[in-house]
């Protein structure tokens, strides 16, 4: 099985949210249901030196995040109906004919990937644009990024090319689910367990 995953170059992302909008447009998700989200994370302070001058370590960076089709998907483990499942290519999908909308997967996922669609009455989530991939096309979010900060493909190949980093704040501890995600960190990126900053667009995401 070739496990698919995402690569995200944080140094190239300017927070334009083209990936988020492309995903929403392609899948026609309702208000409040966003399979891909761009998180703005900021922190640092200004300090007064003994000589009266100032120095600062203020930072802001963006993280584009969706389902990471994890190696250890907790959403699959907690689903009582087997609606949430992992397919041969490693993509985690939800079967709407089995989903009862209990939202256990939503509560369990540390990335908030499964999202409840009240209009349809069941959970929905990123499937890495399975229909596009079947036609040889690129997932909508990857194709839409103007700075080419997103890639997708075999996670083994992505890791060989870009490394193995996947624990950048404000993302959670990657050992929880072992996400199939690789990140090239921003120069000011903070590790997942060094929460010196805060999410500035909480209501949006």
127 is written with which tokens? 């499937």
Which residues, 6 or more positions from 200, have their beta carbon under 8 angstroms from its beta carbon?
40, 41, 42, 60
Which residues form the domain of 183? 4-204
What's CA 93's distance to the chain center, in Å? 15
* Long-range interactions of 134-141: CB distance < 8 A, separation 24+: 140/19, 140/22, 140/23, 140/25, 140/26, 140/27, 141/19, 141/20, 141/22, 141/23, 141/36, 141/64, 141/66
What pLDDT, on the 0 to 100 scale, is given for residue 45?
86
CATH number at residue 80: 3.30.70.20
Model pLDDT for residues 115-161, shown as the tens digit of each residue: 999 999 999 999 999 999 999 999 999 999 999 999 999 999 999 99
How does residue 48 score in pLDDT terms, banded at 50, 70 and 90? confident
What pLDDT, on the 0 to 100 scale, is given for residue 194?
87
pLDDT surpasses 90 at 57: no
Question: What's the domain count of the chain?
Answer: 1
d(Cα 114, Cα 158) in Å, to the nearest integer? 24
Put simply, whether the predicted model's pTM sits higher than 0.85 gets the answer yes
Phi, then psi, of 185 in degrees rounded to 5: -70, 145
Model pLDDT for residues 85-108, shown as the tens digit of each residue: 999 999 999 999 999 999 999 999
What pLDDT, on the 0 to 100 scale, is given for residue 195?
77
């Amino acid at each position: 099985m070739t496990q698919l995953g995402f690569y995200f170059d944080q140094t190239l992302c300017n927070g334009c949210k083209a990936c988020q909008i492309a995903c929403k447009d392609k899948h026609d998700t309702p208000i409040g249901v966003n399979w891909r989200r761009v998180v703005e994370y900021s922190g640092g302070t200004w300090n007064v030196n003994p000589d009266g001058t100032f120095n600062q370590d203020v930072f802001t960076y963006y993280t584009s995040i969706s389902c990471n089709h994890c190696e250890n998907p907790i959403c699959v483990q907690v689903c009582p109906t087997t609606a949430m499942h992992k397919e041969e290519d490693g993509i985690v999908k939800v079967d709407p004919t089995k989903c009862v909308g209990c939202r256990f997967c939503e509560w369990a996922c540390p990335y908030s990937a499964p999202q409840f669609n009240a209009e349809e009455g069941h959970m929905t989530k990123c499937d890495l644009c399975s229909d596009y991939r079947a036609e040889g096309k690129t997932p909508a979010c990857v194709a839409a990024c103007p700075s080419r900060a997103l890639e997708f493909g075999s996670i083994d190949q992505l890791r060989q090319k870009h490394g193995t980093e996947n624990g950048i704040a404000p993302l959670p501890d990657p050992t929880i689910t072992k996400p199939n995600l690789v990140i090239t960190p921003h120069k000011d990126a903070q590790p997942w367990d060094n929460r010196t900053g805060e999410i500035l667009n909480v209501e949006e995401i």
